[in-house]
Chain A
Amino acid sequence: MMQGETQQDEWTQVIEPTEGIFNFNLRELWRYRDLILLFVRRDFIAVYKQTILGPLWHFLQPLFTTAVYTIFISIVKVPTDEIPRILFILTGVVIWNYFSSCLVKTSNTFIGNASIFGKVYFPRLVIPIAVVISNLMSFCIQCLLIIPFLFFYRENIHPNFYILFIPFLILILAMMGLGLGVLVSSLTIKYRDLNYLIGFSVQLAMYATPVIYPLSLIPGRFKSIAMLNPLSPVVEIFRYALLGKGTFSMETILYSAGTALLILITGVLMFRRVENSFMDTV
């Protein structure tokens, strides 16, 4: 018996039915950091291969979207806090894109990667984390796109020190996108319907968030309801930092950060619970 115990210490790996509920296993994830970076590279390089415009698509996609929404709000005459419409929309679209692409692309982690997952083990979280990072890179590229517009309209806007907050805003969005994404991907194993629902829901969520209209547009008594959306303060602060106009308070951003953390923890725990046996179901 004694010998058995001493030998047990040397085992480098023990496979058991369910590893405890609160098991984030961050150390293992760290060991696979090279793999995360390679997946980021793969996602980033492979997307626009064999397209004529290549990486230019990183710019074109938000530009087109911006054009469409700008025309739309010009027609219905949505007030934009005296900010040039195109700049107002562009900032909203760029930051919203980061959240929505994190969510949508991580939400099919299990189903989209079933063939790899069925053959070889690596921490399954590697895939959604890589997605969030590669989206961060396209977000940064798209931010470059904003700069010439800021310069062009420099008379009408007031960038300020809140710009330093932007990384924090991005972190909140990343946590929310990743958390919701892995939560949905864990649930899609059983209920495939969610896979179809997600694109639609993200679209709806955009209209519930001040992306193509300012929060100040919402009349007083509905504003508190609108503020319940943890994404609203993030978009408003982002705009405030770059353009000098936005509605928010410190409490609201703390609320957003708290919600994001909660969503992330819930999502990852759920993900961990199903990752060991999802191959039996898919």
Chain B
Amino acid sequence: MSTVIRVENVSKVYQLGKVGTGTLASDIQRTIAKLSGKEDPLLRIGEKYSEDGIHIALRDVSFSVTQGQVLGIIGKNGAGKSTLLKIVSRVTAPTTGKIKMKGRLASLLEVGTGFHPELSGRENIFLNGAILGMTKKEVARKFDEIVEFSGVAKFIDTPVKRYSSGMYVRLAFAVAAHLEPEILIVDEVLAVGDADFQRKCLGKMKDVSSQGRTVLFVSHNMEAVKNLCQEVVLLEKGQVAEIGNPTAVINSYFKRNTLYSSKVIFEEAKAPGNENVKLRKVELQIHDGETLDINHGFDLYFEFELKNDYPEFNFSLNLFSITGEHIFNTVSTVVSAKKGNIKGSCTVPSNLMNSGNYTISIMAVSQRSITLFYFQNVMNFEIFDNRENEKWFGNISGAVRPKLDWKIF
């Protein structure tokens, strides 16, 4: 197997804030000083160019891809995935390093790039094809196929501004799908579009790789990555953290990012609360496992300091999604509490929560009705997805995702 892409020590540095000094005059001043080897006159005395105004999006990234491989690229937002793709597709240049490639490269991200609303579907197919790197001859050869695939044959001579948005996307995708690049880039397509569109994209990816061509697949959807890729690169803060077999790298990604046995302990002086009650500790413990995913339940432990005796005392726990949706409210049993520390825990069973990011808030209540204090957003955590033997990689929606008893007769 030969190597089709080799990324060698690629780094990308962005200047933050203002580009240049903002005015032509001081830019000229600076350039003259630089050329004559003097100090920059616009820097204060003793000041030097600092690294503060610089963002290193990629740092010494190296890897290679062999022909016919589907390589997954994963990482948190801001890890450098998109920057890497931009450099590979030549939209922007690396600051240092080299990328060597064999063959043509195309991206499913560029669906509809350069479509002109005033031109007809036919004219746009040719224009878009050429923008994506096809010659006129190639487009002409595939023209009928493209039209048929798009399903807009009837309107092929109508300006695309008269198309419905669905027709527009279908036509655009049809052009991209009939490119025959040696290297295909797929970025987060599974996050957009309807189910039908996602299925088409995945189908296209499988076709491409089965024909011995190479795919770079960037996604947050670990299920899709696990199922489609032969190798995965994990990026972290612009660096390659791990390369290897999908299951191993994905597990490691979860482990690195999960708030496993995450613990928040407050010192007496800094503890949130008021003269009635103070929060001293919150802890999340995952049941027999290291990664917090939908198949694992977890316990939420907390410890409070009570300043008085409360004959009727209870907790009320609210769980919100990070976007603010109220998922549930659960209330503890009522106890008689003495002044001093009081501990409690709440168990969230496995196969109840949906995957996603959550935050919890706890309320301390007296006499079943009086709020002693409401501790908001005391802890954030993420629950990962974990599916086996599934053919559907899209999101499963809903506030919760309970595993219920089914009987089929």
Contacts and interface: CB of A to CB of B under 8 A. Distances in A.
Contact of A118 (B2, B91, B93): B91
Given A11-B100, A122-B133, A276 B159 contact: no
B107 interface: yes
Q: In this complex, which of A37, A41, A116, A119 has the most chain B Cβ atoms within 10 angstroms of its Cβ?
A: A119
A191 B86 CA distance: 24
B131 A35 contact: yes
A86 to B, nearest CB: 34
Interface string B19-41: 11000100100000000000000
Pick from A10, A17, A49 the residue with the most CB of B within 10 Å: A17
B100 A13 contact: yes
Interface residues of A, number: 38
B159 A49 contact: yes
A34 B24 CA distance: 38
Interface in A15-51: 15-18, 32, 34-35, 37-39, 41-42, 45-46, 49-50
B94 interface: yes
Interface in B270-322: none
A281 B17 CA distance: 10
B93 A15 contact: yes
A184 B104 CA distance: 32
Contacts of B92: 276-277, 279-280
A41 B110 CA distance: 22
Interface string B86-115: 111111111111111111110101100110
B107 A11 contact: no
Interface residues of B, number: 46
A86 B60 CA distance: 67
Interface string A111-124: 00000111111100
B107 A277 contact: no
Interface string A1-16: 0000001101111111
Interface in B47-102: 86-102
Interface string A174-199: 00000000000000001101000000
Contacts of B94: 15-17
Contacts, number: 103
A120 B91 contact: yes
Interface stretch (B122-130, B358-366, B376-384, B388-396): B122-130
| Most B-side CB within 10 Å, residue of A50, A117, A280 | A280
A151 B166 CA distance: 55
B136 interface: yes
Interface in A45-77: 45-46, 49-50
Contacts of A32: 130
Interface of A: 7-8, 10-18, 32, 34-35, 37-39, 41-42, 45-46, 49-50, 116-122, 190-191, 193, 276-277, 279-281
Given A12-B101, A121-B91, A279-B86, 7 more contacts: A13-B105, A15-B90, A15-B93, A34-B135, A46-B118, A119-B113, A277-B92
14 contacts: A8-B100, A12-B102, A12-B103, A13-B105, A14-B99, A41-B127, A42-B123, A46-B119, A116-B114, A119-B110, A120-B89, A120-B110, A121-B89, A277-B93
Interface of B: 2-3, 14-15, 19-20, 24, 27, 86-105, 107, 109-110, 113-114, 116, 118-119, 123, 126-127, 130-133, 135-136, 159
Lowest 7 CB-CB distances: which A-B pairs, in order? A276-B93, A121-B90, A35-B130, A15-B99, A11-B100, A46-B118, A49-B118
